[in-house]
Structure 1
């Protein structure tokens, strides 16, 4: 216990002597691990959105109307028999094995939904029900099977086109995943800077205390007793930076995602601070391990005992 207290006293004495360098280690560690936390939050958010999107993925079978082009609908607007045939296929026919549920959206309902999502503007005020497409909205058992359903209906009589949200959402998720990768790259660069800064701080500390370490060596102090205070110095600085990064991660999850974006975009399920508690232990572990490794290797190389 006395040895541990002695090493801790030596550690805090060195921290006071090298306040500027220690503050630099804390800040660089804080910034780098904050980027790691932001990337982890972003990936968690993408996973949450992906799961929610696949649960609600619909295939839209747009039916021919009087305004459809001759190329897409050579027989004109869909007839009642054609509509019944499509509905039978969804209920009991070839497509039924892939369909979880479906609903018919009339032109009037399509106009109402469009106005509700876009709001009243000068452009939408002139729209009429006849301008909107009639459709079947199909929810699948397995969202990955949408190409099969698309193929079944794309050439069916009375169908103008078949569309799904997969392509658009894949582009959105690709952008979000790209941002995650960018954040990780920045974090990796900053972590390298933090490791180098920890190493430099330990080297300067060892150089400034070379007389003390020489005396300790002469009186018979063990290698671990001489080296560990320098390692503790790097670990404490990295631990403070890690805890600050944890706090920043919690703030982003709670206030940016959990509150502000939830109010701004109510249709998307955003994560909250509970996700940050899963990420925090990893941030602390990464910060401490990097500090231990870089400090220990530096001490072994530059501190001869």
Structure 2
């Protein structure tokens, strides 16, 4: 009897405030989705950082004949300069591995990278690709000493610190995740306010029933339970919609993002973790908003 009464009261409350309930569900779903997207982006950035830490290199491009770089003066690097450069690299502290990439290998890598752009690839020949030396260091966060030692050396046209390129990208991703989490907090707070208003309206509409329940000796928890369950149902429905949106985000956004910048992609366990966190957070906020509102507006 008690269970039937509670569920009937929940159904009455949801039916009476249908439009407000829909607004709560949608707002909660959007807030949970933004929270989950922020968590997914954070996880993906962490995976990509781990992937690139082992692959980021210092690229030392060597002078070729006719090069317009001032340090080359249009001349190709000589054998003496190449030997001196190799000795300097070996003697530079922090160098872990050294790889030489000639023009043929550079062109093959170039073709593989831009395989989808045939017009661009056909316009570049093997002779247009500069040979280079790829250097990995022992500490991925300390490339400065290696770059400083090699920049401006005879036969060197350009020294590229790839950490700067990837670092700026990761900073952009971190900002994106921060803004997503900030918007999520605002939307979740908006959902909490909507839930509070819904509970207040429901309590006001049923003030006669709750007064009678109080007179016959019903406990505070028993009177409050239908209102709290309404909020929980709204939170769960919002969480289900958010879970669907997070799955779609993983398939169509995170997958493309990871495929474009690296081959490292978060797994479905990360998505499940994000869904769990957002679901628990959303339902907890719904329940908390209900209790706070009931204590203020429901005289029991």
What TM-score do the two structures reach when normalised by structure 1? 0.88
- 1:278 and 1:298 mapped to 2: Cα distance? 30
1:64-111 Cα distance to aligned partner (Å, 9 max, x none): 222234731369432212212322344xx322x422322111123323
Q: Which residue of 2 aligns with 1:202?
A: 199
**Is residue 192–residue 286 contact of structure 2 (8 Å, CA) maintained in 1?**
yes
User: Which residue of the other structure, out of 95, 101, 117, is the alignment partner of 2:97?
Assistant: 101
| Partner Cα separation in structure 2 for residue 247 and residue 124 of structure 1 | 40
Listed as ranges, the matches of 1:72-87 within 5 Å are 72-73=71-72, 76-87=75-86
The structural deviation recorded for 1:195 is 0.8
Q: Are 1:181 and 2:178 an aligned pair? A: yes
Moved over 6 A (4+): none
- Report the more deviating stretch, 34-43 or 112-121: 112-121
Partner Cα separation in structure 1 for residue 125 and residue 103 of structure 2: 9
Mark the CA change 1:293 to 1:265 in structure 2 (over 3 Å): closer, same or farther. same
1:7-18 pair list within 5 angstroms: 7-18=6-17
Q: What is the distance in 2 between the residues matched to 1:211 and 1:285?
A: 33
**Cα deviation digits, residues 116-158 of structure 1 (max 9, x gap):** 3234655654544443222101122221121111011113332
Q: Does the Cα contact within 8 Å between 1:29 and 1:241 map onto a contact in 2?
A: yes
**Counterpart of 1:298 in 2: which secondary structure?**
helix
After superposing the two structures, state which structure 1 stretch, 111-120 or 166-175, moved more: 111-120
RMSD: 2.5
Q: Is 1:292 matched with 2:287?
A: yes
Aligned mates of 2:138, 2:251 — CA distance in 1: 34
Q: Give the Cα separation in 2 of the matches to 1:182 and 1:279.
A: 17
Q: TM-score of the superposition, structure 2-length normalised?
A: 0.89
Partner-residue secondary structure (3-state), 1:232? helix
Which of 161, 164, 171 lines up with 1:164 in the alignment? 161
Q: Secondary structure of the residue that 1:160 maps to in structure 2?
A: strand
Please show how residues 102-117 of structure 1 align to structure 2 within 5 Å.
Answer: 102-117=98-113
Return 5+ residue gaps in structure 2 as ranges: none
Per-residue deviation, residues 21-55 of structure 1 (Å, max 9, x unmatched): 22221111111111111111112111111211121
Q: Tell me, which stretches of 5 or more residues in structure 1 are unaligned?
A: none
Instruction: Provide the rounded CA distance (Å) in 1 between the counterparts of 2:79 and 2:48.
Output: 38
Shift of 1:241: 1.0
Residue 265 of structure 1 aligns to a residue whose secondary structure is: helix
Distance in structure 2 (CA, Å) of the matches to 1:179 and 1:115: 32
State which drifts further: 153-162 or 22-31: 153-162
* Cα distance in 1 for residues equivalent to 2:105 and 2:19: 66
Aligned length: 299
Distance verdict in 2 for CA 1:123–1:290, change over 3 Å? closer
Cα deviation digits, residues 153-178 of structure 1 (max 9, x gap): 11333222211212222222222222
| Residue 222 (structure 2) aligns with | 225
* CA deviation map 1:187-216 (0-9, x unaligned): 222112211110110011001101101111
In 1, Cα distance between the equivalents of 2:246 and 2:86? 50
Query: Does residue 285 of structure 2 align to residue 304 of structure 1?
Result: no
Distance in 1 (alpha carbons) for counterparts of 2:298 and 2:119:
76
Structure-1 separation of matches of 2:225 and 2:120: 72
